[in-house]
């Protein structure tokens, strides 16, 4: 009886350790120094590992275990989300998977949208910590306004990270440049 309790308790501890050994997108602010300059970065836990990210300058942020939300200053109807989604198996960006991702991206467009088009799709527009990516950019109209949505997919061992920006088309070029440029700053992802 005692042995069963000990084995059960040990197993529970192991499962708790495994559950905590995944990326948590709840940010904390850390100060770093590079080339003689001090700057603040967002830090995240991934088990015992610390992952850092330098968000676009001036953008506000908030986060939870599964999603980091960023908002640019002085831009209404603009938001970026970095979301963690579990994968059942390690994903590859093969042709079949890319078709599914495009279909998923189109399905994310708000109901009531019209003129939905896939503006572009690109495999590996950038590598993040030597991991492949896939970028989709969509255009659509909603309530008489033109919008763009970009989604950059990155697969880790057992989770997919989605870097998504949604904004008015008039703001897209500027905000996409800032958001995509910030993706180069990930360390240990």
Domains of the chain: 57-185 (3.40.1000.10)
The predicted-structure confidence for 41-86, as pLDDT tens digits, reads as follows: 999 999 999 999 999 999 999 999 999 999 999 998 999 999 999 9
CA distance 166 to 175: 9
The pLDDT value given to residue 120: 97
pTM: 0.86
Tokens of 13: 């501890």
List C-alpha distances in Å: 78 to 7, 15, 40. Answer: 51, 39, 23
* Helix or strand run (H / E) with residue 39: strand 37-46
> Could you tell me if residue 106 is left (phi over 0), alpha (psi between -120 and 50 degrees) or otherwise beta?
alpha
- Closest listed residue to residue 138, CA positions, set 157, 162, 155, 119: 119
Checking if the pLDDT of 172 tops 80, the result is: yes
Name which of 3-17, 33-47, 128-142 the model is least confident about. Answer: 3-17
Categorize the per-residue pLDDT at 21 as very low, low, confident or very high, splitting at 50, 70 and 90.
low
The pLDDT value given to residue 18: 42
The pLDDT value given to residue 125: 95
Checking if the pLDDT of 7 tops 60, the result is: no
């Amino acid at each position: 009886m005692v042995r069963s309790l000990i084995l059960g308790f040990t197993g529970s501890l192991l499962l708790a350790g495994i559950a905590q050994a995944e990326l948590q997108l709840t940010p904390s602010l850390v100060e770093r120094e590079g080339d003689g300059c001090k700057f603040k970065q967002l830090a995240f836990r991934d088990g015992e590992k610390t992952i850092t990210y330098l968000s676009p300058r001036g953008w506000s942020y908030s986060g939870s275990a599964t999603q980091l939300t960023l908002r640019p200053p002085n831009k209404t109807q603009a938001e970026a989300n970095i979301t963690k989604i579990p994968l059942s198996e390690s994903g590859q960006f093969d042709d079949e998977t890319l078709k599914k991702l495009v279909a998923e991206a189109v399905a994310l467009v708000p109901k009531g949208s019209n003129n939905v088009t896939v503006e572009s799709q690109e495999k590996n527009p950038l590598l993040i910590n030597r991991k492949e990516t896939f970028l989709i950019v969509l255009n659509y109209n909603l309530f008489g306004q033109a919008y763009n949505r970009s989604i950059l997919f990155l697969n880790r061992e057992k989770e997919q990270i989605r870097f998504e920006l949604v904004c008015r088309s008039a703001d897209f070029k500027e905000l996409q440049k800032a958001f995509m440029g910030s993706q180069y700053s990930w360390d240990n992802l």
